[in-house]
Chain A
Amino acid sequence: MHQIWILCRREINAFFDSLIAYIMLIVFLGLSGVFTWLFGGGDIFFVGQASLGSFFGIAFWTLFFFIPAITMRMVAEEENTGTLELLVTKPISNFQIIAGKWLAAWLLVLIALAFTFPYYLTVANLGPIDHGATFSGYLALALLSGVYTSIGMFASSLTNNQIVAFILSLFIAFFFQLLFGQLATILPASLAGIVEFLSLNQHYHTMSRGVIDLSSLVYLLSLIFLGFLLATASLQRRAWR
């Protein structure tokens, strides 16, 4: 556990030491803000009801790009520069390496999400807001971020090229985002149910409307865990070249 935390701290420091980190944060917050206030259904000011629904809808997509940008270098860069050799020959397991880096990336996203709290305060000022739905929406965002992070870590562990890792994680995430949903509409009903369950979209939107479903929680947590295991296995594989 201690090793995970040591590595996590180092990754977070490394992130804030680079200028790119701040640029990414600003772009993420800027885009989410702009879309939430100006284009998010067009009309936070006119709907007549205070809700963060449009923000949650937008964040689903901004995180989709933001998180792979954070995770892409995590393993790929270490592999590319050779520093992975010094890391894995320290008394730390592959699982701990992935966990430390995963945790760092996820905490960074949570920090970014914490900066959207003013949106909540402002909207709450505009009118009565459903606090329950806001809470479950943020919970959904945190879990969704976990899923994206797992996918990103897995993609990063597959290659030593950051750009390839970035595109790979977009590609994998895209399956869960849209393709499963689309597939469900063309498949026969018996299969459609299963495929639809695999669609990230579905679970996320239910949750961000304030409905916390046990099956959604189980689904998101297992996706996180699956990505985790795959990333660990992929790191393990390197020793067998």
Chain B
Amino acid sequence: MSITVSNLTKTYGSQKAIDNISFEVKTGEILGFLGPNGAGKSTTMKIITCFLKPTSGNVTLNGYSIHDHSRSIRRRIGYLPENTPLYTDMPIVDYLTLSAELQEVPRQQVRARVREMIDMCGLGPERHKNIGELSKGYRQRVGLAQALIHDPEVLILDEPTTGLDPNQIVEIRSLIKEIGQKKTVMLSSHILKEVEATCDRILIINRGELVADGSTEELRRRAKGADQLLIQIRTEDPGTKEALLGLASVADVRPAEKGSNSWMVDARPEHDPREDIFKLCVKKGWILTEMTPIESSLEDIFRELTEN
């Protein structure tokens, strides 16, 4: 099921939380939703899940509109809100059973689904406790379990891995990846490494406006016009920097923090200076001990796009 968001705007009082954003998520795609605090990630998700009405604009899932087919949409979405609000007075099993029933899981499958979710989300050891007695991480797992319980076609997860331990993060990530092969998944997160590892595509919003949309690779290419290289040269020659700057494909050379005769080399756009550098070293009899292409990390891109 694909999600189409078109010209979505939401105003709280006088404040614009999201401003005319449009994007699309296809079936079998995992979309990472990034942005600084207060950017409007949760607001967007609340609108897609029909919790809030947009001020203007529309969201459709396979043609079902949030305005006209809210119930059909809610039947097909699994949603984990931020802060995982759950009924703290209920035991885990009862809560999952309630969620399954409300999600219209056929009666004879409810018990099996609940058991499956308890295994899948690692709730086994705590299964007899009340939700109110659980640690934050376990509560998060219950939240995930209730979102997955009806095997939804669309998953909307607002910061799904906050509070999970590293083992569980790995498990949940691979679970999301597995689900994402057939379903449509949209998740928000502040852990960029995680988004990079899990998501096929990344969306960055800042102050309610869409500032980037694409795969990590595409974002990288767009953010930095040119590549960077880290090189280290073993030689007594004091003129290395000048010689490097003399190369046609090199735009700039700065000393790297890494020690003597290490340099950060900025390539000219559309040029690859690696060959030139190698030939230069051979010609001068220098020993090239290191040459590493430096990819600008997602953190850099994120900062560049959202800081001003």
Shortest Cβ gap from B59 to chain A (Å): 13
Q: Let me know if B85 and A89 touch, CB within 8 A.
A: no
- Once A83-B86, A90-B74 are accepted as A-B contacts, the answer to whether A10 and B98 lie under 8 Å apart by CB is yes
* Residue total for B at the interface (Cβ-Cβ under 8 A): 29
Assess the A6–B71 pair: CB atoms within 8 A: no
* A6 and B12 in contact, given A86-B81, A89-B79, A240-B53 (Cβ under 8 angstroms): no
User: Which one of B43-51, B121-129, B290-298 is at the A interface?
Assistant: B43-51
Interface residue from B52, B81, B90, B103 paired with A90 (Cβ < 8 Å): B103
- Decide if B304 is an interface residue (CB 8 Å cutoff): no
- What's the Cα separation between A88 and B77 when bound, in Å? 12
- Let me know if A239 and B89 touch, CB within 8 A: no
Chain A proximity of B85: nearest CB distance (Å): 3
Chain A residues with Cβ under 8 A from B101's Cβ? 6
- CB-CB under 8 A from A86, the residues of chain B are 79, 81, 85-86, 146
Q: Known contacts A82-B85, A239-B52; decide if A89 and B74 are in contact (CB<8 Å).
A: yes
* B98 CB contact (under 8 Å) in A6, A18, A89, A239: A6
Number of A residues with CB within 8 Å of any CB on chain B: 24
Given A17-B89, A91-B75, A93-B71: A85 and B98 interface contact (C-beta under 8 Å) = no
Q: Kindly state the separation between the CA atoms of A89 and B81 in the bound complex, as whole angstroms.
A: 10
Q: Are A90 and B99 touching (Cβ within 8 A)? A: yes
Contact B51 A91, beta carbon cutoff 8 Å: no
B23: Cβ under 8 A from any A Cβ: no
User: A residues within 8 A CB of B72?
Assistant: 91
Shortest CB distance B213–A (Å): 25
In chain B, what residue has the closest Cβ to A83?
B85
B-chain residues with CB within 8 Å of residue A13 when the two chains form the complex = 94
Asked whether B56 is an interface residue with its Cβ less than 8 Å from the other chain, the reply is: no
User: A23 within 8 Å of B by Cβ?
Assistant: no
Interface string of B98-115 (1 = CB under 8 A from A): 110111100000000000
Find out whether the CB atom of A88 lies under 8 angstroms from the CB atom of B102: no
Residues in B with CB closer than 8 Å to A18 are: 89
Q: Assuming the A-B contacts A86-B146, A239-B52, are A91 and B85 also in contact, with contact meaning beta carbons closer than 8 angstroms in the complex?
A: no
Q: Establish whether residues A85 and B89, one from each chain, have CB atoms under 8 Å apart when the complex forms.
A: no
Interface contact A91-B89, CB-CB below 8 Å: no
Chain A residues closer than 8 Å to B81, beta-carbon distance: 82, 85-86, 89
B75 lies within 8 A of A88 (CB)? no
B87 within 8 A of A: yes
Say yes or no: is B181 at the interface (Cβ < 8 Å to chain A): no
Which residues on the A side are within 8 Å of B88 (C-beta)? 81
Tell yes or no: B83 within 8 A of A by CB.
yes
Identify B102's interface contact among A17, A84, A91, CB under 8 A.
A91
Known A7-B102, A88-B50, A239-B53; 6 more pairs at CB < 8 Å: A14-B89, A17-B89, A86-B81, A91-B103, A91-B104, A241-B52
The interface of chain B, by Cβ under 8 A from chain A, is 12, 46, 49-53, 71-72, 74-75, 77, 79, 81, 83, 85-90, 94, 98-99, 101-104, 146
Residues of A within 8 A of B (CB): 3, 6-7, 10, 13-14, 17-18, 81-93, 239-241
| Cross-chain pairs A/B with CB under 8 angstroms, 17 sampled | A3-B102, A6-B101, A10-B98, A13-B94, A17-B89, A18-B89, A81-B85, A81-B88, A85-B81, A86-B86, A86-B146, A89-B50, A89-B79, A91-B74, A91-B102, A240-B53, A241-B52
